[in-house]
Amino acid sequence: MDKHYYVALDIGSSSVKAVVGEKFHEGVNIIGTGQTYTDGVIKGNISNFEAVRSAITDTVKKAKISSDVDLDEVFLKIPTTDSLLVFEENQLNFNGEPTEINGTHIEDLLENIREKINDPDHEVVNVFPIYFKVDNLHEVVDPKEMIATESLSIHAGAVLKNRSQLINIVKCVEDAGLEVLELFSDATNFEHILSESEIELGSVIIDVGHEITQYAYYERGSLRALGAVPYGGMAITSDLSEAFNTNYEQAERLKHQYGHAFYDHANDEDIIKIPQRDNSEDLEVTAKDLADIIELRLEETLTEVFKALEANKINRVSGGFVLTGGTVNLSGVKELVQDLVAEKVRIHIPNQMGARKPEFSSVISTISSAILFDELLDYVTIDNH
């Protein structure tokens, strides 16, 4: 593989997505993408190993064709379901020997943190520095090239994930013939979706996907809380199918074509005909009737997220709420959320050509995580010099 490129893989409940990208100024330039729909993932976990493995193979093949890059190494995104956030400290001692800090020192500290964390049911996904201290003085973001005489210490966070789930996601990717370079939890990936001021002031990022809704809270520069609720767009489609007595595929089509998340703004004039499960005459409804169902489920989903935040003692979100994930393709999501919270609300859609869809936020931000990690460790995984 051309070492210049970063490849990220997202195994979602609705589709597997891959992106081939490269560092471009402070962002990511996208060279190619691949996407394959699959039934093999339930709530972010592998339920049909063989189906997911083949979806991964197909996705990577598509990404290869679209990017013209021969790829066999990937950075793998891990969902925030069944995950924990922990904090740890570690220190390297130089005993009076002036030492120029390089990527290997940082790598050693991160590795020490990984080894210190012992949880019987969870495995470390990724460790991220919050700050370093050189000779126990002030906080430093990146100590590379600085001279330490006594010590280099780190205050770090780590995201853990249910061990069995993690092992099987990784195995599935490896069995598809790919090497997994690093894992990144979406909780840390989402940092790249937030602006500096959002991260500083305190912001919640919410990814409403197909079967899960992930969230992360950032404040004063770093990740403070993470989690997920077990429903997303699929629940909306199921509700529509139930409410209007139509099959799931019809309901999904209706949602995409006429779906609106905010009842007050939905169209109540144009008639939509819905084929019935029992072959009786088509039901006639308006987009407002659909919005009634959609709004209810989305509001319920978001309320679960708000409750989880409150349980984490997060009551004020001064930087606001950022929403992304496939379900925010629905019209009216911003208006609905703005109706529920007093803080600022925005929708995040990646701006790279070929991936301007909110369902690509997670996989693109995985590339940003990989670039940041590589820069911090002075390019241990990808040769970018």
The footprint of ligand ATP (CB under 6 A) covers 12-15, 44, 209-212, 232-234, 252, 255-256, 259, 325-327, 329-330, 359
**Among the listed residues 43, 80, 76, the one whose alpha carbon sits nearest the alpha carbon of residue 173:** 76
Shortest Å distance, C-beta 312 to Mg ion: 22
Query: By C-beta, is 23 or 348 nearer to ligand ATP?
Result: 348
User: 73, exposed or middle or buried, with CB in 10 Å at 0-12, 13-18, 19+?
Assistant: middle
117: left (phi over 0), alpha (psi -120 to 50) or beta: beta
**Selected binder of Mg ion within 209, 233, 319, 358 (CB under 5 A):** 209
Binding flag, residue 358, Mg ion (CB under 5 A): no
Q: How far apart are CA 373 and CA 368, in angstroms?
A: 9
Which three-class secondary structure state does DSSP give residue 353?
A: coil
The one of Mg ion, ligand ATP, none whose footprint includes residue 320, by CB under 5 to 8 A per kind, is: none
Query: By C-beta, is 9 or 101 nearer to ligand ATP?
Result: 9
The one of ligand ATP, Mg ion, none whose footprint includes residue 80, by CB under 5 to 8 A per kind, is: none
Q: Alpha-carbon Rg of the chain, whole angstroms?
A: 22
Shortest Å distance, C-beta 81 to ligand ATP: 8
Residues 6 or more apart from 137 whose CB is under 8 A from it? Answer: none
x/- mask, Mg ion, residues 1-30, rule CB under 5 A, reads -----------x------------------
- Please provide residue 14's backbone torsions phi and psi, each rounded to the nearest 5 degrees: -105, -40
Query: By C-beta, is 252 or 295 nearer to ligand ATP?
Result: 252
Query: By C-beta, is 134 or 169 nearer to ligand ATP?
Result: 169
The CA distances from residue 109 to 101, 115, 240, 277, 381, in Å, are: 12, 10, 51, 60, 17
Neighbours of 310 (CB within 10 A): 10
Please measure the distance between the N-terminal and C-terminal CA atoms of the chain and give it in whole angstroms.
16
Q: Which stretch binds Mg ion (CB under 5 A): 147-155, 203-211, 219-227, 230-238?
A: 203-211
Query: By C-beta, is 209 or 332 nearer to Mg ion?
Result: 209
Whose CB is nearest to ligand ATP? 326
The one of Mg ion, ligand ATP, none whose footprint includes residue 326, by CB under 5 to 8 A per kind, is: ligand ATP
Shortest Å distance, C-beta 188 to Mg ion: 15
Q: What is the token pair recorded at 177? A: 């013939």
Using CB under 5 A as the criterion, which residues of the chain lie in contact with Mg ion when the complex forms?
12, 209
